[in-house]
């Protein structure tokens, strides 16, 4: 989408798998592609409404994603899980603390928050100030909650054997790094305008949906629009989109979709 952004929208800050695309040292056609849609930073998104922004995951490229997409505010953060590609941009929240003059609430499962507390121990203990450190509040999710003035429903799913969370915000749902969606969670994903779903590649994988599995889930849920994220370098943007039903497409870095 171009021009004025709609009042309620999702911005795909990053859409790539944990290696990103292009991948270090790879000379495949997608990694060498000149198509900007094939340049994928690690997966993260920003949901914007009424002048507020909710960030979903904080990728290692978070600073660059914010500059590229002119992100001026973060009112809350939702963590899906604590793998490196979803949390390691956290230190750059300190810039938003400075601009906003406030601590930022961060939501996730108790297990996810425990990893964040350990990985970023310096945030939570007394240290010399130096260049500053993020001011955040870790808030465990154990059911529906309200963040930055909007109601959010957590969606329990599995990333291999690891239980993680997706999130439903109104008629938008965001479910990445997923290999199984339990029945009860599928029911929480009915009646969507926009579904964001993680798919890795065409070849089977132990902890991620394949392209075909993602299509199957999307068709069963029948969202008006489905966008795939967390793609590896094995999926060329244009060639893959040509294979997909019209209501399903690969997202790309910088895509803005009205909700």
pLDDT confidence of 130, banded at 50, 70, 90? confident
Longest Cα pair distance anywhere in the chain, in angstroms? 55
pLDDT at residue 139, as a whole number: 98
Q: What does the pLDDT average to over 186-199? A: 98
Residues whose CB is less than 8 angstroms from the CB of residue 8 and which lie 6 or more positions away in sequence, other chains included: 48, 49, 50, 170, 258, 259
Q: Pairing state of beta strands 162-169 and 150-159?
A: antiparallel
- The predicted model scores a pTM of 0.95
pLDDT at residue 131, as a whole number: 74
Average pLDDT, the chain: 96
Facing residues of 52 across strands?
A: 49
pLDDT confidence of 208, banded at 50, 70, 90? very high
Residues whose CB is less than 8 angstroms from the CB of residue 27 and which lie 6 or more positions away in sequence, other chains included: none
Residues whose CB is less than 8 angstroms from the CB of residue 97 and which lie 6 or more positions away in sequence, other chains included: 103, 104, 132, 134, 135
Q: What does the pLDDT average to over 185-213? A: 98
pLDDT at 2 over 50: no
Is residue 170 left, alpha or beta, with left meaning phi > 0 and alpha meaning psi from -120 to 50? Answer: left
The domain defined by 9-258 folds into: Metallo-beta-lactamase; Chain A (3.60.15)
For the record, the structure tokens of 164 come out as 């993680």
Q: What does the pLDDT average to over 227-248? A: 98
pLDDT at 4 over 60: no
């Amino acid at each position: 989408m171009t021009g004025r952004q709609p009042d309620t929208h999702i911005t795909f800050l990053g859409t790539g798998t944990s290696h990103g695309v292009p991948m270090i040292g790879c000379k495949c056609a997608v990694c060498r592609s000149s198509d900007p849609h094939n340049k994928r930073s690690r997966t993260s998104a920003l949901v914007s409404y009424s002048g507020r922004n909710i960030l979903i995951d904080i990728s290692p490229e978070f600073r660059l994603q914010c500059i590229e997409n002119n992100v001026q505010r973060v009112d809350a953060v939702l963590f899906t899980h604590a793998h490196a590609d979803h949390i390691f941009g956290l230190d750059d929240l300190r810039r938003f603390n400075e601009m906003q003059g406030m601590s930022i609430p961060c939501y996730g499962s108790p297990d996810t928050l425990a990893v964040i507390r350990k990985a970023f121990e310096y945030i939570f203990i007394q240290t010399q100030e130096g260049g500053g450190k993020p001011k955040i509040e870790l808030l465990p999710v154990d059911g529906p909650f309200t963040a930055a003035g909007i109601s959010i429903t957590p969606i329990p799913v599995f990333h291999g054997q690891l239980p993680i969370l997706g999130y439903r915000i109104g008629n938008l749902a965001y479910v990445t790094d997923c290999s199984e969606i339990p029945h009860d969670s599928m029911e929480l994903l009915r009646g969507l305008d926009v579904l964001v779903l993680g798919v890795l590649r065409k070849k089977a994988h132990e902890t991620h949906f394949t392209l075909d599995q993602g299509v199957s889930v999307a068709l069963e849920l029948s969202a008006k629009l489905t966008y795939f994220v967390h793609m590896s370098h094995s999926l060329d943007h244009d060639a893959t989109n040509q294979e997909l039903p019209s209501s399903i497409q690969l997202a790309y870095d910088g895509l803005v979709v009205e909700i």
